Structure 1
């Protein structure tokens, strides 16, 4: 029996846990707080208003010191926001890993892969990029607001062999059986940058303007702002010699339409007075541009506006 551990019970963590709970595999959910762990233990996971059959699920939390009692996971899905990846969290995740464990990282943006690869080794690390959309409705409840696809692949690092393809295929097959569309990718750099540009164009504008994703397409002015952000990011990608899909601008508009009624995660963070992921999105683009002496004035402006909203 395969043992999957999910670290982080936010919207996507709960969604994937609910889907995987319907399989016959062993599942451990590690929450940040004892209160959420207790809610999941007592009430299970509610997906789209329906309580899932909580077969083979163990719930633990970092807060009460239980995390780690689940033992010997085959895969750990790290499903916290990049802002939550502190040295303390990395140490905690490492303590959960057995010799056979592979860490699968679902973070947006860039930068986390180097930190985690250095900590656990690239031969123990897979990156995941998902277009699944979910909204957390409570400690143990989640709505699946948009069906997407999840790409999974290894990273290359000098002196380290990547995770074997056989394990990657095993994982994607497992997710498919759980009802999550998944594909193995041999070009995760392109996948990561594609998701980064989509987020860096849509999320900050929704947060600044306090609008849903689809509202960005209602005004010529917001469409022009989106295009400015996109063009600047594409200049940087070209300078970094990163190949991106030719239809990426059309994809960004399609994402806005497909998630028209959604509040972006950045808008939700601003509304709830939490720190956003702006540093790992537009901020990461600005850091790369600065190293190459490239100016991204529109990205810098939206970055500063979101930081002002945080403060």
Structure 2
């Protein structure tokens, strides 16, 4: 099975790299600086379990999707619709499309734009690009997907690479659980530029996070979604399992780039407004990150 990764940044390079390391056919489609380094030296995977240069095909062209049986869309939520435009001419009729993106509704947006099934994958991994072609892994690595015609094939393919994939009948709930975790940490990490392990013990932060979670749960419930498990415990656990990780929002703000905050706390804010649920803490975090973004000219809307 050939796998193509569109948007091969930290998340895409981790999952594509794990597949390539297991000698599966993979092509990474990413930014020029990463593609050039990967073509020259391989993808350097600096993980918790190994450090290795992994040979893998890489290109900046969406035509790399041609012939792929599995496509992992890993672009930023802000680039979802543009990704659909770029993918459309190159997708095989039988390709399995997975959205490995932050936010709740990217798979739905891709599906509407492409007019074909797109399946959401809930991603639990802490990674960053530490330099051109250099992936740094801080923890975890599992995926959650829903049941569909090719789900068993996806599970089997990733199993070869040592990547656990759970098939869940409640992907909507799992997506909301991930969204809540992102809402609890991403903005705070962006505002403070601190990793998760230093944020959680901060004075007053436990109460702030509890308020964020409560607001998110109220919106999810009003939207008819059941969030599985003990989400308060799951949020607390992130500070331990991903202690050294800064959020992708923090990296975007630090680099003067447009972040995904509109699709995280901003999504909860919009759904809350539509459903008549007040979300004041999410509103404040969203507004503060937008102010930080406004300092950079290329982050304006």
Distance 2:107 2:64 in 1: 26
| TM-score, scaled to structure 2 | 0.91
Number of the residue aligned with 1:43:
41
CA–CA separation in structure 1 for the residues paired with 2:91 and 2:275: 37
Superposed displacement of residue 14, structure 1: 1.2
Superposition CA RMSD, Å: 1.7
The reply to whether residue 78 of structure 1 matches residue 73 of structure 2 is yes
Q: Rate the CA distance shift 1:16–1:246 in 2: closer, same or farther, 3 A.
A: closer
Is residue 58–residue 70 contact of structure 1 (8 Å, CA) maintained in 2?
A: no
Q: Deviations over 1:50-79 (max 9, x none)?
A: 34342xx432213xxxx3155211011111
- Residues of 2 paired with 1:4 and 1:21: CA distance? 9
Q: What is the CA deviation profile of residues 97-131 of structure 1, one whole-angstrom value per residue up to 9, with x for unaligned ones?
A: 01111111001112322221112345x32111111
Q: Does 1:147 find its partner at 2:148?
A: no
Match of 1:115 among 99, 105, 109: 109
Q: Measure, in 2, the Cα distance between the counterparts of 1:121 and 1:31.
A: 24
Deviation of 1:290 after TM superposition, in Å, equals 1.0
Q: Which piece of structure 1 moves more, 224-233 or 45-54? A: 45-54
CA deviation profile, 1:145-180 (whole Å, cap 9, x unmatched): 1023211225xxxxxxxx41xx11111111011011
**Does 1:15 find its partner at 2:14?**
yes
Query: How far, CA to CA, are the matches of 1:246 and 1:182 in structure 2?
Result: 18
**Structure 1 consecutive aligned stretches of length 4 or more whose deviation exceeds 6 Å:** none
State whether residues 143 and 165 of structure 2, in contact with CA within 8 Å, keep that contact through their aligned partners in structure 1: yes
1:9/1:29 contact within 8 Å kept: yes
What residue in structure 1 maps to residue 99 of structure 2?
105
Distance, in Å, in 2 between the alignment partners of 1:189 and 1:258 is 23
Counterparts of 1:209 and 1:22, CA distance in 2: 36
Shift of 1:262: 1.4
Q: Which runs of 5+ in 2 are unaligned?
A: 295-301
Distance 2:229 2:123 in 1: 20
CA distance in 2, matches of 1:70, 1:283: 31
1:96 to 84, 90, 93: 90
Residues 68 and 148 (structure 1), Cα distance of their counterparts in 2 relative to 1, 3 Å cut: closer
Tell me which of 183, 186, 200 is aligned to 2:183.
Answer: 200
**Contact 1:21–1:52 (Cα < 8 Å) also in 2:** no
Among 68, 83, 93, which residue is 2:63 paired with?
68
- Distance, in Å, in 2 between the alignment partners of 1:70 and 1:276 is 26
Q: CA deviation at 1:92?
A: 0.7
Judge conservation of contact 2:80–2:110 (CA < 8 Å) in 1: no
Structure 1 unaligned blocks of 5 or more: 155-162
What SS does structure 2 have at the residue aligned with 1:285? helix
Map residues 83-232 of structure 1 onto 2, 5 A cutoff.
83-86=78-81, 88-122=82-116, 124-153=117-146, 163-164=148-149, 167-232=150-215
